[in-house]
Chain A
Amino acid sequence: KAGVTQTPRYLIKTRGQQVTLSCSPISGHRSVSWYQQTPGQGLQFLFEYFSETQRNKGNFPGRFSGRQFSNSRSEMNVSTLELGDSALYLCASSLGLLAVEAFFGQGTRLTVV
Chain B
Amino acid sequence: ELKVEQNPLFLSMQEGKNYTIYCNYSTTSDRLYWYRQDPGKSLESLFVLLSNGAVKQEGRLMASLDTKARLSTLHITAAVHDLSATYFCAAHDTGTASKLTFGTGTRLQVTL
Q: Which residues of A are interface residues toward B (Cβ below 8 A)?
A: 31, 33, 35, 42-45, 48, 50, 55-56, 58, 90, 92, 94, 97, 99-107
Contacts and interface: CB of A to CB of B under 8 A. Distances in A.
Interface in B1-37: 31, 33, 35
B43 A90 contact: yes
B96 A101 contact: no
Interface residues on B, range: 20 to 34
Interface of B: 31, 33, 35, 41-45, 48, 50, 88, 90, 93, 96-105
Chain A interface main SS type: strand
Contact of A103 (B31, B45, B90, B97): B45
Contacts of A50: 97-98
Nearest to A106: B42
Contacts of A48: 96-99
Most chain B C-beta atoms within 10 Å of own C-beta, residue among A31, A44, A48: A48
